[in-house]
Amino acid sequence: MTDHAATPETPDTPRKLRVLAAMSGGVDSAVAAARAHEAGHEVTGVHLALSQNPQSFRTGARGCCTLEDSRDARRAADVIGIPFYVWDLAERFREDVIEDFFAEYEAGRTPNPCLRCNEKIKFAALLDRALALGFDAVCTGHYAVIVDSPAGRELHRSADHGKDQSYVLGVLDADQLAHALFPLGADTKDAVREEAERRGLAVARKPDSHDICFIADGDTQAFLATRLGKTPGDIVDADGAKIGEHEGAYAYTVGQRKGLRIGTPAADGKPRYVLDISPVTNTVTVGPAEALNVSELTGIRPRWCGEAPTGVLECTAQVRAHGDEYPAVAEIAEDGASVRVRLREPMRGVARGQAVVLYVGTRVVGSATIDATVRAEAGAGAA
C-alpha cells in the first residue's frame, strides 16, 4: 500500500516517524492508523473527547464523537497493536466550533462546522499538542492526497471523487500540511472497508458519520433556538413586500425552499427560495430560483495550502463539500486580506459564511470565507 502522504524521503532511506493517529471510531481513521503502523512508523492512537456531555452527541454508530465511538477506536487500536489515549478537547471544541456556529448563524451566515473543526481542532489544537510531545505528524482518515513537489507540499483531491474530502481540508496552511498524513487518498471507500475486514477491525461495516456531530437529533433549527431563542420577523419578497413571518432569521439559509411557511403563492405559481437573510432588520427575503444565480463572490480571511498566490489566478471554485467545480478567475488583493472570485458561469445558492475552495486541476490552492456575492444578470443562465 502506498502512503501518498509520506514526508519527503529517498527510496533507499525511508524515515521512521512518530505519528499521532486521530481515531474517530470509524473505519477510515482505523485503516489509516493501521497503514501508518504497517509502514514502520511509531504510531500512537488518540480519540478526541469533544463533548462535555458525550451522550448529547449523535449516537448509533455515527463514527465521530460519542462514547460508543471512543470504545470502537480503542478496540481498533488494540487490534492494530498501538498505544491508545483519549484526549479531552471539549472546551476548545465548544469555543472554536460550537460557539462559532452560533455566532455565524446569528449574523446571518451559514458556517461549515466540519471545516472549522479541521482548522481549529484536528490541525491546530491536536497538532500543536502532538508537536509539543515530540510527534512528527498527525494521521487522519481523510480522503485526500499530499504530493511532495519541487515547490513544496501540495494538497490534492482524492482518487475517489465521490468520497473526496479535500474541500474540508482547504483551510490547512503549509505548516499544517508539513505535519499531516492522509494514507487513504489513493483508495475508494469500498477498498478501505474490505481492508478493514481483512485486518479484523470490527468497524469495517460501521456506517459513515453524517450531519453535524454536536446536534443529537439532526434538527439544526431547534438546536439554534435553544441558544438564540425566538426572534419573530418578516418574510418579504424581492420588492420588500411582507408575505409571511418567521420565528428567527437564523433558521434559514440562502437557497432554502422548504419550510418557508408562506401562505401567499407567487404570482407565477413557481416555488420561492431564500435569497437573503438580514440580521439587522431581522428579515428573510425570498424570490424565484433564477435570482439565486451569482456571478462573483468575495472571500475574506484566505488560507493558502502552500505559498500564497498573488495577482490573478485561473482556477475552479467549489463552495460545498461535495458540490460542483466552476471555472473562475481569482484576484488576490494586494494586502492579501481578501480574494475576488469571478465565475465564468453562474453559481446558484451561495451563502455568506460558506467557504470557497480554489483548485488548479486536482491541487487545492486555498480557501476563503465568503463575505459577499454579486447576483448574475438576468438571462445569464443557471448554474
Catalytic residues: 117, 213
Q: Which of 279, 271, 247, 293 is nearest to 353 (CA)?
A: 279
Q: Which of 179, 186, 181, 178 is nearest to 307 (CA)?
A: 178
Its sign, for the CA torsion 101, 104, 106, 108, is: negative
* Burial class of residue 307 (count of CB atoms within 10 Å of its CB; 0-12, 13-18, 19+): exposed
* Nearest 10 degrees: Cα torsion 322, 326, 327, 328: -100
Q: Which amino acid makes up residue 290? A: E
307, 320 in Cβ contact below 8 A? no
If one counts every other C-beta atom within 10 angstroms of the C-beta of residue 74, the result is 16
43, 33 in Cβ contact below 8 A? yes
If one counts every other C-beta atom within 10 angstroms of the C-beta of residue 147, the result is 14
113, 153 in Cβ contact below 8 A? no
DSSP per position, 312-373: EEEEEEE-STT---EEEEEEE-TTSSEEEEEEEEEEE---TTPEEEEEETTEEEEEEEEEEE
Tally of CA atoms within 13 A in the half-sphere of 269 that contains its CB: 0
User: Nearest 5°: CA angle at 36, between 33 and 40?
Assistant: 140
Beta strand ranges found along 115-217 (DSSP E): 137-139, 144-149, 152-157, 180-181
Q: What is the rounded distance in angstroms from the CA atom of residue 265 to the CA atom of residue 62?
A: 40
Q: Which helix (H) or strand (E) holds 189?
A: helix 189-198
In whole angstroms, how large is the CA radius of gyration of the chain? 22
If one counts every other C-beta atom within 10 angstroms of the C-beta of residue 17, the result is 21
